[in-house]
Structure 1
Amino acid sequence: MDSINVDINHLKKGEVNLGTSIMAVTFKDGVILGADSRTTTGSYIANRVTDKLTQIHDKVWCCRSGSAADTQAVADIVKYHLDMYKANNGRSPTTKIAASLFQELCYNNKDNLTAGIICAGYDEKNGGEVYSIPLGGSIHKHEYTIAGSGSVFVYGWCKKNFKPQMTQEETINFIKTALSQAIRWDGSSGGVIRMVILTKAGIERLIFYPNEYVDA
C-alpha cells in the first residue's frame, strides 16, 4: 500500500480531550472493545456520553484516546483508505492492515498529534486481533491491551485476572470490572461503559449505565 502523506498541522490539540479509559480483549470467539464515555475540556466535562468506539471497516473498530479532534481525523482518514483498499482489491482489509495505517499516520505526524489508538477486529482467517498504537506511532500486537488516563489504575488487576480463551460472558465481565475501577479512580474517566463485540456471528453493541457497574 502506498505511503500516506497527510498534513494534519491544522488540527487544534488539547482543547477537547478524551481523558479516558479504553481497552480491547481477545477471547475464544473474537474480540471485544470497551470504553468509558467522558470527554473533558481541562477540568470541565464537555460530554458525558461520548462514543469513543469507532467503526473503521465492517468488523474493524478502534478505541480513541487523546485529543478528540486528532483521533477523529485519523480515524476518518484510515476509514477512507480501507474503503479504497476494498474497492481496489475486492476483499476486506484485515485488522493488521488497519492498524498499520493508524501506525503510519500517527508516526508520520507524531509531532502534531495527540492520539492514542487501540485497533481491534475480527476475520475468519485470523480470528480476533488487538493492536495498540500509543503516542509516538509505534505498533504492538496483544491478547489484550488497555490505554488512556484510567489505565494506570488497573494494570495490575488486568494482569492478574486476564485469561486467554475466555468465554464471551467472562470477557464482558472482565472489561466491565476493569473499566468500572478505572472510572472510580480516574477523574478524567466516567459516564457509561460502551462495548462492541466482534465475532463470526456479527457485531453486537452493549452499554452499561453507572447503576449497572458501580458494584462490579
Structure 2
Amino acid sequence: QREVSTGTTIMAVEFDGGVVMGADSRTTTGAYIANRVTDKLTPIHDRIFCCRSGSAADTQAIADAVTYQLGFHSIELDEAPLVQTAASLFRDMCYRYREELMAGIIVAGWDRRRGGQVYTVPVGGMLTRQPVSV
C-alpha cells in the first residue's frame, strides 16, 4: 500500500475576538519531502497574515508584493490597513496572473472596522469572505 498525500492543509477560523490560523509544515516535490518544517503562515502587516498553498515560489512572491503594497498604503493613510484591503490585493494579483501562478491563499486578521475576518483566494483569483476556511 502507498501512503495517500492530501497536499497542503491550511485553515483559518473567525471568533469573537479575532481569528485563529493554522497550517501543516511539510513541503513536497512529488513524492519527495523537500522540507518538514516550512512556515506556511506569513505576516503581511501587524494584524494581518496569510496561509499559503500551491507553488512555494509563487506564494512567497505574491505575499512579498502584497506586503510591500500594503505597507505603502498604510503609510499613505497613516493608519493600519483593513484586512479586506489586503485580501483584495491578493485577489488582484492572483487573478491578473492566473495563467502563470499556482497559488491558493487564505488571508486573515483583525482590524478596528470589522474585527476578525477570514478571506479565501483560491487558484484563479476569486475572493470570498467566510467565517471558516480550510
Give TM class, smaller chain: over 0.9
Aligned to 2:25: 37
Aligned to 1:58: 46
The runs of 5 or more residues in structure 2 that have no matched partner are: 1-6
Matched-pair contact (CA < 8 Å) for 2:81–2:111: no
**Where has structure 1 moved over 3 Å in runs of 4 or more?**
none
Is 1:77 aligned with 2:65?
yes
- Computing the radius of gyration from Cα coordinates, the structure with the larger value is 1
Indicate the SS of the match to 1:125.
coil
Aligned to 2:97: 109
Once residues 90 and 128 of structure 1 are traced to their aligned partners in structure 2, the CA distance between those partners, rounded to angstroms, is 21
Q: Which amino acid aligns with 1:49?
A: V
Is 1:20 aligned with 2:47?
no
Identify which of 87, 101, 104 aligns with 2:75. Answer: 87
Aligned 1:1-216 pairs, distance under 5 A:
19-146=7-134
Once residues 128 and 89 of structure 1 are traced to their aligned partners in structure 2, the CA distance between those partners, rounded to angstroms, is 21
Q: Name the % identity.
A: 56
Matched-pair contact (CA < 8 Å) for 2:8–2:53: yes
Q: Which has the higher helix share?
A: 1
**What is the total number of aligned residue pairs between the two structures?**
128
Greater Cα offset, 67-76 or 84-93? 84-93
The runs of 5 or more residues in structure 1 that have no matched partner are: 1-18, 147-216
TM-score (ref. length: structure 2): 0.94
TM-score (ref. length: structure 1): 0.59
Matched-pair contact (CA < 8 Å) for 2:118–2:133: yes
Once residues 75 and 17 of structure 2 are traced to their aligned partners in structure 1, the CA distance between those partners, rounded to angstroms, is 28
Q: Which has the higher strand share?
A: 2
